Each structure stands twice: as structure tokens, then as C-alpha cells.
Amino acid sequence: MSETQKRKSDHIEIVSKKEVSHSVTTWLEHVTLVHQAVPEVNFSEIDTSTTFLGKKLSAPIIISAMTGGTEEAAEINARLASAAEKLGIAMGVGSQRAGIENPRLRRTYEVVREVAPNAFIIANLGAPQLVRGYGVREAREAIEMVEADAIAIHLNPLQESVQPGGDLDFKGVTSKIGRLVAELEVPVIAKETGAGMSMEAALALGRVGIAAIDVAGCGGTSWAAVEYYRAEEAGDEELMKLGKAFWNWGIPTAASIVEVKAVFRKPIVASGGIRTGIDAAKSIALGASAVGLAAPLLKAALISEEEVIRQLRSFILELKTAMFLTGAGNIEELKRVPVVLTGCLREWLETRGIDVNSYARRRAGLEPRVV
């Protein structure tokens, strides 16, 4: 097993067996959707479909990038992909570096397209690889491997910081991403991995023409935590200490969505700690176009494909119920329902120079009116 393969299998093992969540939350509990006692919507007619980067999804949900590169990963990918195909949602594969380094591992990713011929599939490569020399050729290889509809470039400086031998050179990363945007035939998504995107990052990525930003904020899986356990296994006390210190580092998902939305006009994916359809409804009302989930679906996929489908169906039912109770008949209407932002989320946004009241009113497309 190569070093990359060992890392992939460690990730699955640790995320499925250890407590790797942040102990800070997404702050979505500081976002309240306003209940409507007169919703004027027929539940049975609620339409959760949406268009994401030019392709129709039955619901605004992405199975976030997770894996590939090992036998177990191939089985997990097949289960997730089959669920995505059946439910009409999108799916990202994990970093395809393993498949590029070793062509024999390509089929652990290719299986996704075989099982999901129609789903929106997102290829994945890491920003550190771009800095180290990957470019348009490797990105095209990753895209072709899964006949991807888009490619995500993951930004994981926190994980690299706590990983043994991590890549700590991110200099020039923005222009490398820009080069992919200019030359690739599919949209390029910039994706964090659980520490969130700031408005500064969104501005830099927006300037090089990125097609979408996946905020992957704080409040779900902590990569400092995952790497803490890998350091523990390796008996590396220094990295264990670092992992513990940075366990909760990052921008909570709710704050990250608003930061990015304040400066970036293209689609935003809300992810990092999205656990219920209510989280999804809140994220969309805050400004996201779709949401992503990783760890819960990994655990479900380790049980069965049916378990993945069962969990996603219940998530969609929660989303629909939140739409019903806010009077939103479709996703475009959900994007404009009123939201109330309170507590530390409000303080954070004010500190960052975002006028919370006008943000909320603008989202709802209304200034208060009287009748």
C-alpha cells in the first residue's frame, strides 16, 4: 500500500470510529427561518429541483468529496454514486491524486461514473498538488477519469499543517487555480475542507474567475481532529498537540456563507456540519445554491447503499417541510424567505463590516412594508 493509499484508508477508519467533530458549531442555530402560519403552499407540489452549474438536480444536495484509491473506497464510492443517481443529486469524488499517481487505482474512481451515468459528478484535486507541479494535464486526467461535470480544487491548509510531512507551500496557489479556470472545459469549484472560506479568499478566487465556492466551514468534521488521531497512531506528540490546539480552528459555516455571499455573485455550496434538511433550508435562505454532506454519508455508506438513500430521503423530507413552513414552493422562493440572524453570528458579521439588517432584507427581496 502506498503512502497515499494508507492515508485514505486511515481517513475512513478514523472518521467512522473516532469523535472527529468540531466542538464549535456551524452557527446555523443563530439563523432562524421565520415560520409562516399562512404559507399558501400545497406540500405535495413543493419542488426541490434546482439548476447547479448548468445541470438540473432533483434536490440541491451534493455528496461531498471523500474517497477513492483503495478497494474499500471503491465500494463506498459505488454505493454513494448509486444513491446520487437514484435521487438525482450531485456527488464529488475524493482527491484523485492516488489515481493519477497509480493508474491501477483509477477504477476506484471510475466506478462512480459507471454506476451513475447521469448524475452531476465533481472531480477533485488538492491545491498543494497544483503548487507542486500539477496543472491542466493532471486536472484533465482527473476530469476524464470520472467524466466529470465540474472539478473541485480543495484548499486544506489546516489539514496540511497538522499532517506529518504536510505540504505547507501555498504560494502561487491562486494563479494556479486561475490557470485551470482559463483552460479547462468544465467549471472549477474552489472547496475548503472544514475550516471555511473568508471574504478575502472569496475575493481572490472570484478575481481568477472561479465558477463556484464550496465554503466547507467549521461545525462538522474537523481535519485537525482527524490528523490528531493519525499523529497519535504514529506516536508524534508534537503533531498531536498541534492537532488538539487547532481542533476548532476555522470559520463557522453560517458565517462563511454570508462572508462569501457578500462579495461573490456566483453559486455557493454550503457544507461543513450540514446535518439536517433544516440546516439546508437555512443555508439556502442565507445565500447558498446547494449544500454538501460528507461524514454522515460515509458512515451510512459503510452500512449499505439503502442506508445512504434512507438518510438522504429523510434529509429531503426535512428540507421540504422547512420549505412548506416558510411558504416556499420551490428553491428560488426559498432563497428569498426572511431570515433572522442573532447572537455571535450577528456579532461576527458586524465585526467583519457586513450590515446584517440590510443583508437579510436584500436576501428576502423586501424592505418592510405596511398594509
Q: Least separation, in Å, of the C-beta of 155 and ligand FMN?
A: 8
**What is d(CA 88, CA 56) in angstroms, rounded to the nearest whole number?**
8
- Terminal-to-terminal C-alpha distance of the chain: 70
Radius of gyration of the chain (CA): 20
Q: How far is CA 42 from CA 87, 217, 319, 323, 370, in A?
A: 22, 34, 15, 11, 27
Please say which residue, 30 or 191, places its beta carbon nearer to ligand FMN: 191
Asked if residue 61 lies in contact with residue 280, where contact means CB atoms within 8 angstroms, the answer is: yes
For residue 328, the 8-state DSSP code is -
- Tell me which residue has its CB nearest to ligand FMN: 220
Q: Least separation, in Å, of the C-beta of 245 and ligand FMN?
A: 20
Please say which residue, 81 or 354, places its beta carbon nearer to ligand FMN: 81
Please say which residue, 11 or 363, places its beta carbon nearer to ligand FMN: 11
Q: Least separation, in Å, of the C-beta of 272 and ligand FMN?
A: 5
Kindly list the residues in this chain that would bind ligand FMN in the complex (CB under 6 A). 11-12, 15, 64-67, 94-95, 124, 152, 154, 191, 193-194, 216, 220-221, 271-274, 293-295, 298
- How many other CB atoms are found less than 10 A from the CB of residue 135? 13
Please say which residue, 294 or 337, places its beta carbon nearer to ligand FMN: 294
**What is d(CA 26, CA 29) in angstroms, rounded to the nearest whole number?**
8
Please say which residue, 79 or 191, places its beta carbon nearer to ligand FMN: 191
C-alpha cell at 8: 485514505
Q: Amino acid identity, residue 17?
A: K
Q: Least separation, in Å, of the C-beta of 273 and ligand FMN?
A: 5
Q: Least separation, in Å, of the C-beta of 68 and ligand FMN?
A: 8
Please say which residue, 215 or 242, places its beta carbon nearer to ligand FMN: 215
Q: Least separation, in Å, of the C-beta of 162 and ligand FMN?
A: 14
- How many other CB atoms are found less than 10 A from the CB of residue 123? 31
